Amino acid sequence: MAAPLADRLRPQSLDDIVGQHHLLDPDKALRRIIDSGVIPNMIFYGPSGIGKTTLASIIAKKTNRSLYKLNGTTASTADIRSVVDQLDTFAAPNGILLYLDEIQYFNKKQQQTLLEFIENGQITLIASTTENPYFYIYNAILSRATVFEFKPVEKEDVLLAVQRAFRFMEQEQNRKIQVEDGAAEVIASACSGDVRKAMNAVELCVLSGDEKDGSCFVTLEKAKELTQRSALRYDRAGDEHYDILSAFQKSMRGSDPDAALHYLARLIVAGDLPSICRRLMVCACEDVGLAYPQIIPIVKAAVDAAMQVGFPEARIPLADAVVLVCNAPKSNSAYCAINAAIADIQKGRIGNIPRQLQNKHYDGEDNPNKGQFYKYPHDYPDKWVEQQYLPYELKDVRYYKYGQNKTEQAYQAYWSRIKGENK
């Protein structure tokens, strides 16, 4: 069985790797470290298919170290000890470079097994992860390693890899491969920065291409057909999930309906209805808030409708709600106020509840000033009377500040008049 094209065409030198210019250009730190031949323990962080494994292989080759690969999803502590047993043998005369893919799946005990050997330099660890290492890797490993973040490869760089892949397959199959204008660009755009995915698409396009006079024709339509769903990079438990949700909410907060609808569409295609509904409700309350308080029940009704009808029809009330949130005036005054109040509580700024607000029904004999002295606001003009509501220790604290929008400015004007007249 032939290896996938991505493996057959794996780069053999640093200059062959596409993308990652921020790490591998001649003047960048990681490139200089590799060229020095003195390799520290490193963690490669980034999405799949962008060169992490390839780079580890090239590093091992450049430093004449024996490369051992383990995967965190399948490797055990016994596998680690088997690698350690190769130290100081003919199998690893210059030391070992251990490439540990998906290290986030290693538990604490497994990661601790590595510590002794990566500390004394007998094993150089290059670990890779698609998840944020500061959340998933234990501090003992992090403190002994340098984190390098890999980024999705830009379309222009992926295009170079796609064109090289077509040339490679042409030589491999010893026949002409003709690629219709725009087909390579479609593949490069649709892979979402994942070079491996682009290589797979190239191979599928060639294998399913039209045959004519001993040549293979890859049409634009075929490229679109084979890559139509490839652009969606989504993992409900991974960083990409939270990145899309973050972009979705920030686009609504920023009043950009086009961007918000784009991220909504990505979430719809992924089928993530609960996350859409939650972020919509949060945004209506947090970002529109008191500037247009009626939006909260409106968005709630749209969310309920979406949950009841399900996809594909759910996209309609969701789109209505997203566009409404984007176009509504914005105020986070209540959001800021409750955050400030919670911060005070967490700091211990609590104080005693004023007596007039307590649930008192009788006074003890030791209280010389009997009575609750609560003033019932409805008994006073405009249903307001001045009295102390906050604990006396916090009597001058102000958590809420009126927002600069028509609704809250009307509230402010109303209460300024009432409270000024009735003092």
Residue 202: name the closest of 188, 181, 212 by CA.
Answer: 188
Query: What digits encode the pLDDT tens for the residues 250-290?
Result: 999 999 999 999 999 988 887 888 889 999 999 999 999 99
Domain with residue 398: its CATH number is 1.10.3710
Total count of domains within the chain: 4
74: CATH: 3.40.50.300
**Distances in whole angstroms, Cα of residue 145 to Cα of each of 48, 151, 354:** 21, 19, 55
pLDDT of residue 232: 52
* Other C-beta atoms lying within 10 Å of the C-beta of residue 372: 15
For residue 5, tell me if it sits in a domain. no
Kindly state whether residues 54 and 70 are assigned to the same domain. Answer: yes
pLDDT of 362: 59
Among 123, 149, 175, which residue terminates a domain?
149
pLDDT for 366 equals: 64
Question: 116 with 76, same domain?
Answer: yes
Whether 111 and 32 map to the same domain: the answer is: yes
In this structure, are 209 and 317 located in the same domain? no
User: What range defines the domain where residue 395 resides?
Assistant: 353-421
Q: Are residues 300 and 183 in the same domain?
A: no
**391 shares its domain with 410:** yes
Q: Which neighbouring-strand residues pair with 67?
A: 97
Q: Are 249 and 279 in contact (CB under 8 A)?
A: yes
Which regions of the chain are under pLDDT 50? 1, 234, 236-237
Domain closes at, from 99, 124, 149: 149
pLDDT at 105: 83
* Helices 155-173 and 195-207: angle between axes, nearest 10 degrees: 40
Asked which of 227, 250, 270 is the last residue of a domain, the reply is 227
Query: Quick check: is 397 in a domain?
Result: yes
64 and 132 belong to one structural domain: yes
- For 288, phi then psi, to 5°, come to -95, -55
H or E element in which residue 67 lies = strand 66-71
Residue 77 in any domain: the answer is yes
Could you tell me if 50 and 123 lie in one domain? yes
Q: Tell me what pLDDT residue 90 has.
A: 54
Clarify whether residues 45 and 121 are in a common domain: yes
Asked whether residue 332 is domain-assigned, the answer is no
Q: Tell whether 102 is covered by a domain.
A: yes
